[in-house]
Amino acid sequence: MDRTGGIPISERGHRYYDEEDFLKAYLSRRSLVDNANDTLEKPVMLELIGNPEGLRILDLGCGDARFGAELLERNCASYTGLEGSKAMSELARRTLAGTAGTVILGSMEDWSYPQASCDLVLSRLALHYVEHLEAVLARIVQSLKPGGRLVFSVEHPVITSTLQPSGTRTDWTVDRYFDEGFREQQWLGSTVKKMHRTLEHYFSALQAAGLQVESLRESNPVRERFHSADAYERRRRIPLFLFFSASRPSL
Ligand SMILES: C[S@@+](CC[C@H](N)C(=O)[O-])C[C@H]1O[C@@H](n2cnc3c(N)ncnc32)[C@H](O)[C@@H]1O
């Protein structure tokens, strides 16, 4: 156990991204035509974030920070990516070279967050690796300025409930939905652990952290975002991602 009472650093969700074959498989999946991130996840994140101009942004589990480069191009005031995997953080450093963005190698669970200095904390598909959401939310809240916002995506609880081997999904069994905890999945050639929480848990944890929930979204597909009609039809069957936007009350 570490000092936050969660799983040791060496077993946290960022370790998979330090496995060479896993990282290669992950990056290659992200570049497929009609990949789920670009067709389903990123558009909703952009809608929830709105205009990033002038915002001081912290991105938890930033991956290769390509999103950070885009936000900087759109004139955010600052961008800091926190990334737990060394290999990913090096990719992120390369992506942000020559920009004002910075990358920090560290875990969301125990990094020393800046106090009341962020306008926007975002996290894309990383919080479902965290065991104690409440502990991380408390840190996020402290890092937000009054009126600042948290916007994040996670794998949908319908998916994390069962975590069958990934592949082309045409139907899905939801099981043990109310038994929260880590589930194992065969994913990209590795055995990966993701934390299953109910939708109600995400919602209540945000409220309990003192945040005002502003939006709850799901990855409802939009036809124009897909090259393939079949891929679009398939994505109408099973929700992959869940999104929240919540704000720290103004003083
Ligand atoms: C699915 S990837 C998403 C990357 C990026 N946010 C994106 O959407 O392109 C999840 C990322 O979260 C990082 N991660 C997972 N658990 C983490 C933790 N506890 N602290 C920091 N980073 C973590 C992983 O190393 C990985 O880069």
Instruction: Give one DSSP letter per residue of 179-219, joined into a string.
Output: --EEEEEEETTEEEEEEE--HHHHHHHHHHTTPEEEEEEE-
Q: How far apart are CA 23 and CA 86, in angstroms?
A: 11
What is the spatial distance between Cα 182 and Cα 180, in angstroms, rounded to a whole number? 7
Q: 9-156+197-247 falls under which CATH superfamily?
A: Vaccinia Virus protein VP39 (3.40.50.150)
Q: Which helix (H) or strand (E) holds 42?
A: helix 42-49
Which H or E run contains 105? strand 102-105
pLDDT in tens, 206-250: 999 999 999 999 999 999 999 999 999 999 999 999 999 999 999
Predicted pLDDT at 167: 67
φ and ψ at residue 52, rounded to 5 degrees: -85, 0
- Ligand 1 center to residue 107 CA distance, Å? 9
The domain spans of the chain are: 9-156+197-247
How many angstroms is it from 151 CA to the middle of ligand 1? 15
CA 125–ligand 1 middle distance (angstroms): 7
The residue to mutate among 80, 82, 85, having the most atoms of ligand 1 within 8 angstroms of its beta carbon, is 85
Measured from CB, residues less than 6 Å from any atom of ligand 1 are: 12-14, 17, 61-63, 82-85, 88, 107-109, 124-126, 129-130
- Our mutation pick for probing the ligand 1 site, out of 49, 62, 64, counting the most ligand atoms within 8 A of Cβ, is 62
pLDDT tens digit sequence for 149-205: 999 999 999 999 997 766 677 778 899 999 999 999 888 989 999 999 999 999 999
Per the listing, tokens 């936000």 go with: 71
CB 83 within 8 A of CB 94: no
User: Is pLDDT of 14 > 70?
Assistant: yes
pLDDT at 5 over 80: no
Q: Do 194 and 183 form a contact (C-beta atoms < 8 A)?
A: yes
Question: Given this model, what pLDDT does residue 11 score?
Answer: 83
